[in-house]
């Protein structure tokens, strides 16, 4: 029987703190963006002029159209390529399945703009492969613009579709398939009439995550879009370039972008609710026996996707040990790039490590109690908290950062220019990770344990601290590592908020993209890859044990 | 010392009224069982006493002291959960000591009391074991020790035996009863198993749809059920409705279909029952009916009815027979094991019963 815990002070305190924090650093900044979009340049008069200006400008109209087109293409392509992969992984005897499964986690933690950057280093105007091919007289098409961006999205975001679909397929009660066969359907017909419809919600749920992620993404289009306007990038450029008191045009793009992603998040949440409807199974469905031909074909298909997606990262690491003379890459292997990187300053690395650590602890300190209250104390208030704590998903990093700058660069609380505003932005953005990590573990801990503790005389707050935190510890650590890794490769908010000495590795890369320091950028990227892969590899087993959703 | 007074307590979840206007007085040292089908409100009521569910109306008091406004951790109840709720991160000893730590009991006293509590549940020497090393029955004992060691005012048990296998269940319920009696503690026990309730309780409250249906001693609940629901819930029975056609001394003669039944003694009258309203519902337990073999005489004062065997079910100690009356009505009979090889489907039987063992209810 599922009966809500009675009212006590603990959930109210947690809810209060959470609302205060998210109100100050998420809702208020968004409100300021919203306000900015309806005010004139001086920030005093209400007007619709800004919207008229953006709508009447072909350039900004195109940025909306381009963003939507690219996201739609990337979502459809990712889904079409990944759905068969998921089915093969769940139901066919693929060679090296365990290794394959572990490798599919990597694209989730590796920074996607590094993949984009690698593509430029290899196939760009001055790319290594482009050069090599030109020297033998072969020209390749441009990888800039829509094709390159969509390609990077597919290669880096396919796990968003893969993981929920595999989970859905594994949760399928095989007896429904057997019932279908028993009633006279062929295997093929059973798949299309029974198996596929049951996992559709899982596939769509993942596809919507891809849609949200591509709409928000700043780094990939920044690297690959060239002259093509993209909303998240243009909002940033407008904000940096706008000289008026009120960042009106950036506000308009921000509002439009938040509306689109919110719409996608709302639909995604609806599907998430239904995601468990296939879980009647006590054991995963058995593998389907296929001939060696199919087996080889399916194995090649799966491995190809995974390996191709990792090629850019591998290339970046190799390039980081090579020497650039002007734009030309020379096959001399040395540590020169790294020496140069550290000779300049070790500060960015220190900053990345420090800020990620602070953000991981901050997100855990706030997110774990929120996850606990949402899961254990169901009420109308905690339902609202659940929605608010998911909101950061729908807000592009660039837009949140712009909102934070507008809100806190003057007045009673000035945060701009320091490290704190970066940490606050990270905690807000990655809060959903720790909230969901904590509720994922709680779903595996029987609620009567807490009741037993309370019944024995320990107050709800002390029960949470003394009993639940130790029980949840493995999952909390997993969630913190994910947050740490995500923050280390965060670019979109950082690039708006960093100042002077608070450059991070991603900012160094970002700056190198425009300059000529390709070797330096590659070394920075390699460092970033190292610092994201190692922690995740260390806690990989922990994450799997707690069946922690990485999405 | 600790009586539990539940006064007009109510609670609804949305449109569902889980508990409605329940009033109970549970005596000191009593083993009191809340019995009913799932969704009848028995668990909700128990959780209200423990403090895990809020009251919409009414009050609960321990020994005259109102407790429903206290937070759960200050109520000093010991609860045994259906799934044991043993803390997996603590040893057996750590689990039992948990509530004592919360009460700031000195370390030396904790060691003594934990050892005593474990001895009480026959787990002496298990204090350094981990929960995952124990069987279900042992975990259950740890849960009981953990609840008793804090010397609670009231022991609350929420279907504590439902996860054990049948044989262990019978064994454990005896132990729980014995432990409760030797400690003289007030215990409130929730179950949906009527046999379990009959076996261990001083008194039983049968609940239905959030309200009390009957509160009484086990034998009274079984033999003198207050409502047809209780009669049916407490075990297999024969439930008929009929019309009182005449009175024959202390007996009422009831026409049910084409069969006449005799009822002696009072007929429980509902509040809506009026003179001249002669429709009644009555029940007779299968084991109160006897088969009269050829040459046997009907006991004095008993009534008889003719029936035909339709099905025989051999259960070992008991044989259940389904018979058909002349108008097709089903009448169940239960007999203690005896050589009945001659019983076969279609065979005519003469059945006898004592009219004093027929319970009548006011028609609904």
Mean per-residue pLDDT over chain A, rounded: 84
Q: What is the pLDDT of residues A181-190, one digit of tens each?
A: 788 788 888 8
pLDDT of residue A533: 87
Confidence class for position A105, pLDDT limits 50, 70, 90: confident
Neighbours of B209 (CB within 10 A): 16
pLDDT of residue B65: 92
A15-23: long-range contacts at Cβ-Cβ below 8 A with a sequence spacing of 24 or more?
A15/A373, A15/A381, A15/A382, A15/A385, A17/A366, A17/A369, A18/A366, A18/A369, A18/A370, A18/A373, A18/A385, A18/A388, A18/A389, A19/A385, A19/A388, A21/A366, A21/A428, A22/A388, A22/A389, A22/A391, A22/A428, A22/A431
Please indicate if any CB of chain A lies within 8 Å of the CB of B42. no
CA distances A94 to A84, A85, A90, A103, B34, Å, are 13, 10, 9, 14, 56
Mean per-residue pLDDT over chain B, rounded: 89
- Nearest CB to B85 within list A1, A451, A471: A451
Tokens of A217: 């993404």
CB contact under 8 Å between B51 and A5, yes or no, is no
pLDDT of residue B308: 92
Please indicate if any CB of chain A lies within 8 Å of the CB of B73. yes
**pLDDT of residue A150 exceeding 90:** yes
pLDDT of residue B273: 43
Q: What is the pLDDT of residues B79-114, one digit of tens each?
A: 999 988 999 889 999 999 999 999 999 999 999 999
Per 3-state DSSP, chain B is made up of helix, strand and coil in percentages (nearest 5) of 25, 35, 40
CB contact under 8 Å between B89 and A470, yes or no, is yes
Mean pLDDT, 10 residues at a time, chain B of 364 residues:
91 90 95 94 94 91 91 91 90 93 92 94 92 91 93 94 89 93 94 94 95 94 90 91 81 86 67 57 91 86 91 87 90 82 81 89 64
Query: Can you tell me the ipTM of this complex?
Result: 0.82
**pLDDT of residue A112 exceeding 80:** yes
pLDDT of residue B77: 93
pLDDT of residue A4: 44
pLDDT of residue A547: 53
Q: What is the pLDDT of residues B11-57, one digit of tens each?
A: 998 888 999 999 999 999 999 999 999 989 999 999 999 998 889 99
What whole-number distance in Å separates Cα of residue B304 and Cα of residue A274?
61
Q: What percent of chain A has pLDDT over 90?
A: 23
Strand pairing of B251-256 and B203-208? unpaired
CB contact under 8 Å between B52 and A6, yes or no, is yes
What whole-number distance in Å separates Cα of residue B225 and Cα of residue B222?
6
Total length of chain B: 364
> From A457, which residue of chain B is nearest by alpha-carbon distance?
B73
pLDDT of residue A449: 92
Q: What is the pLDDT of residues A394-431, one digit of tens each?
A: 888 999 999 999 889 877 788 788 899 999 999 999 99
Q: Is the pTM of this model over 0.95?
A: no
CA distance B163 to chain A (A): 15
Q: Which residues of A touch B98 (CB under 8 A)?
A: 453, 456, 458
Confidence class for position A278, pLDDT limits 50, 70, 90: very low
- What are the strands, taking DSSP E only, across chain B? 4-13, 16-26, 31-35, 57-62, 65-66, 77-80, 154-158, 186-191, 203-208, 211-216, 238-248, 251-256, 259-264, 279-284, 289-291, 303-314, 318-325, 330-336, 348-353, 359-362
- Identify the residue among B50, B52, B150, B157 best suited for mutation to test binding to A, counting A beta carbons within 10 A and taking the highest: B52
pLDDT of residue B198: 95
**pLDDT of residue A480 exceeding 50:** yes
Confidence class for position A482, pLDDT limits 50, 70, 90: confident
**pLDDT of residue A277 exceeding 50:** no
Size of interface A-B (CB pairs under 8 A): 85
pLDDT of residue B1: 64
Strand pairing of B203-208 and B31-35? parallel
pLDDT of residue B15: 87
CA distance B79 to chain A (A): 7
Half-sphere exposure of A98 (CA within 13 A, CB side): 3
Please indicate if any CB of chain A lies within 8 Å of the CB of B52. yes
CB contact under 8 Å between B87 and A458, yes or no, is no
DSSP string, A474-540: HHHHHHHHHHHHHHHT--TTHHHH--GGG--HHHHHHHHHHSS-HHHHHHHHHHHHHHHHHHHHHHH
What whole-number distance in Å separates Cα of residue B78 and Cα of residue B148?
6
Stretch A202-223: mean pLDDT: 88
């Amino acid at each position: 029987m599922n009966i809500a815990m009675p009212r006590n002070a603990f959930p109210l305190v947690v809810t209060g703190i959470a609302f205060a924090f998210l109100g100050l650093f998420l809702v208020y900044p968004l409100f300021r963006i919203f306000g900015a979009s309806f005010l004139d340049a001086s920030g005093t008069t209400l007007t619709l002029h800004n919207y008229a200006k953006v709508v009447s400008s072909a350039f900004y109209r195109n940025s909306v159209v381009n963003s939507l087109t690219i996201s739609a293409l990337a979502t459809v392509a990712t889904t079409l390529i990944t759905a068969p992969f998921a089915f093969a992984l769940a139901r066919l005897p693929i060679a090296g399945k365990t290794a394959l499964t572990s490798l599919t986690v990597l694209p989730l933690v590796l920074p996607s703009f590094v993949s984009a950057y690698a593509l430029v280093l290899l196939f760009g105007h001055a790319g290594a492969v482009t050069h090599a091919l030109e020297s033998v007289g072969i020209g390749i098409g441009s990888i800039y613009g829509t094709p390159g961006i969509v390609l990077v999205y597919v290669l880096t975001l396919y796990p968003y579709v893969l993981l929920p679909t595999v989970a859905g397929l594994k949760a399928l009660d095989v007896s429904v398939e057997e019932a279908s066969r028993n009633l006279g359907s062929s295997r093929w017909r059973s798949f299309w009439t029974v198996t596929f419809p049951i996992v559709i919600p899982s596939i769509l749920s993942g596809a919507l995550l891809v849609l949200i992620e591509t709409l928000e993404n700043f780094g990939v289009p920044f690297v690959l879009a060239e002259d093509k306007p993209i909303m998240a990038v243009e909002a940033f450029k407008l904000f940096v370039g706008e000289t008026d008191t009120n960042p009106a045009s950036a506000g308009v793009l921000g509002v439009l972008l938040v509306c689109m992603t919110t719409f996608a998040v709302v639909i995604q949440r609806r599907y998430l609710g239904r995601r468990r409807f296939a879980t009647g199974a006590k054991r995963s469905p058995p593998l389907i026996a296929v001939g060696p031909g199919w087996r080889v074909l399916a194995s090649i298909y799966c491995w190809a996707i995974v390996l191709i997606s990792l090629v850019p990262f591998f290339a970046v690491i190799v390039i980081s040990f090579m020497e650039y003379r002007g734009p030309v890459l020379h096959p001399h292997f040395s540590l020169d790039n790294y020496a140069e990187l550290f000779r300049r300053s070790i500060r960015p690395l220190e900053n990345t490590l420090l800020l990620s650590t602070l953000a991981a602890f901050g997100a855990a300190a706030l997110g774990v109690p929120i996850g606990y209250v949402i899961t254990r104390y169901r009420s109308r208030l905690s339902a609202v908290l659940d929605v608010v704590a998911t909101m950061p998903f729908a807000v592009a990093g660039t837009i949140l950062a712009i909102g934070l700058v507008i809100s806190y660069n003057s007045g009673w609380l000035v945060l701009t220019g320091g490290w704190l505003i970066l940490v606050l932005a990270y905690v807000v953005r990655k809060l959903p990770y720790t909230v969901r990590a904590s509720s994922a573990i709680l779903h595996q801990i029987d609620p009567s344990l807490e009741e037993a503790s309370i019944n024995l005389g320990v107050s709800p707050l002390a029960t949470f601290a003394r009993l639940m935190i130790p029980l949840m510890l493995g999952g909390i650590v997993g969630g913190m590592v994910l947050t740490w890794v995500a923050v280390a490769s965060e670019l979109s908010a950082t690039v708006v908020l960093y100042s002077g000495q608070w450059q991070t590795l991603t900012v160094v890369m970002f700056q190198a993209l425009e300059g000529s320091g390709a070797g330096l950028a590659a070394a920075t990227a390699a460092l970033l890859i190292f610092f994201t892969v190692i922690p995740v590899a260390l806690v990989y087993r922990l994450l799997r044990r707690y069946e922690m959703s990485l999405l | 010392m600790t009586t539990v007074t539940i006064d007009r307590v109510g609670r609804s979840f949305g449109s569902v009224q889980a508990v409605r206007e329940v009033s109970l007085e549970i005596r000191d040292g009593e083993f009191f069982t809340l019995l009913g089908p799932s969704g009848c409100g028995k668990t909700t009521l128990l959780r209200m006493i423990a403090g895990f569910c809020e009251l919409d109306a009414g009050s609960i008091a321990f020994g005259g002291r109102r407790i429903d406004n206290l937070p759960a951790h200050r109520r000093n109840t010991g609860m045994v959960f259906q799934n044991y709720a043993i803390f997996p991160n603590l040893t057996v000893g750590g689990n039992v000591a948990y509530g004592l730590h919360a009460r700031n009991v000195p370390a030396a006293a904790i060691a003594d009391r934990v050892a005593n509590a474990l001895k009480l549940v026959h787990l002496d020497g298990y204090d350094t074991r981990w929960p995952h090393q124990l069987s279900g029955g042992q975990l259950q004992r740890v849960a009981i020790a953990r609840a008793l060691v804090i010397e609670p005012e009231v022991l609350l048990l929420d279907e504590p035996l439902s996860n054990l296998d049948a044989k262990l269940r019978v064994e454990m319920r005896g132990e729980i009863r014995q432990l409760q009696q030797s400690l003289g503690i007030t215990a409130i026990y929730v179950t949906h198993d009527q046999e379990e309730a009959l076996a261990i309780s001083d008194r039983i409250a049968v609940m239905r749809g959030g309200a009390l249906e009957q509160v009484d001693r086990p034998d009274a609940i079984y033999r003198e059920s207050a409502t047809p629901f209780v009669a049916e819930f407490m075990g297999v029975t024969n439930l008929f409705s009929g019309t009182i056609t005449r009175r024959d001394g202390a007996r009422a003669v009831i026409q049910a279909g084409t069969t006449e039944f005799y009822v002696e003694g009072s007929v429980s009258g509902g509040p809506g029952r009026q003179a001249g309203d002669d429709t009644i519902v009555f029940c007779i337990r299968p084991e109160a009916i006897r088969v009269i073999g050829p040459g046997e005489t009907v006991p004095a004062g008993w009534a008889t009815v003719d029936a035909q065997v339709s099905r025989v079910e051999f259960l070992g100690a008991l044989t259940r027979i389904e018979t058909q009356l002349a108008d097709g009505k089903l009448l169940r009979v239960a007999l203690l094991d005896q050589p009945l090889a001659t019983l076969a489907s279609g065979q005519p039987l003469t059945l006898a019963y004592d009219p004093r063992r027929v319970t009548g209810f006011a028609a609904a």
